Structure 1
Amino acid sequence: MGIGKSKIIPSINVDDMLKKAGISHEIEAEKQDADKRLTEIREAKEALLKIHQDLLDAIKAEGEAAMVLQEAISSSNNVINGICNAIVKAEQNTRFKATIKFEHLVQLQQLLNQAIETWKTMLGNHRSEQAKMLTEHESNMRKILRRNEGVWFSDFWMKVLVIFLFVYTVVLGLVAYCVA
């Protein structure tokens, strides 16, 4: 569509102008959007560079800390070795002085005398217990012999038994000799 034709000025096409204006507006909007995104990318890049630098600093600090810890371990090992060596040296070079006083000997003698008295008392008690047990055993043996329990031979019957066994052995020997 055109607005009146003038002979001097060629006709202006409004539709084309509107299209061109719309395109220009879209280009301008896209340009602004691209500028925004470019700004965001630059900010993100700066943030990443800062984080990268912080990480490098942290790695460097970690390396320094590890080195300090290694030195501390080495130093502590040296300290421990030094202490152990000092203890060994002290043990090897130390001489103890011992003295015995007369009062200590008197105390030792008193303790020995008390121990001897205790042992005498214990042995006396043991002997009395043994004597009591022996009398009880004798009493039990008398009771057994009175009831004629167990094996007991008087002197007479022992003589009779020995003579009988002797005669039996001689007779058995003669029988065996005669048969053979």
Structure 2
Amino acid sequence: MGIRKSKITPSINVDDMLKKAEISHEIETEKLDVDKRLKEICEIKETLLKIQQDLQDAIKAEGNASVVLKKAISNSNSIVNGICNAIVKAEQNTEFRATIKSEHFAQLQQLLNQSVKTWETILENHRSEQTKMLTEHESNIRKILKRNEGIWFSDFWMKVLVIFLFVYTIVLGLVVYCVT
């Protein structure tokens, strides 16, 4: 049983190790930044969807006001009185005065989809870079193991060590028991 040191001691390039650590740190920082921005985009998307719902409610209220206006005109004796009553009712029932076309919603949805695709591409590139770094690390570990560097015990010596420790512990226990 012994510790063997390799006859060929490779030099450790500290600068390369520091550069790799800095690159890894930069990747992690960029990943956190991407996650933060993706979260912001999702929050903005939820806000925009809420605004879209509010605008649809406003359009519905405007439609209701239109129905009320038509009923007022048909039931009125005087066109002037009917119009005045409809205007008053429309002003009281309308929460927003806005005109939104369906093309605007389509443009908004298209912009949101494009931004999500961009972030997905960025995240995919980041994942592939991490996979590449992990593969390179595994390759380096395999090379070290193939050169038999480091400490290792064969099965035979491990069994001898375990048996020795067991016998030593029993003998020590007996000595302490006999002395006390």
Q: How would you bin the TM-score normalised by the shorter chain?
A: 0.3 to 0.5
Return the TM-score normalized by structure 2. 0.40
Q: Which has the higher contact order (CA 8 A, sep 6+)?
A: 2
Return the TM-score normalized by structure 1. 0.40
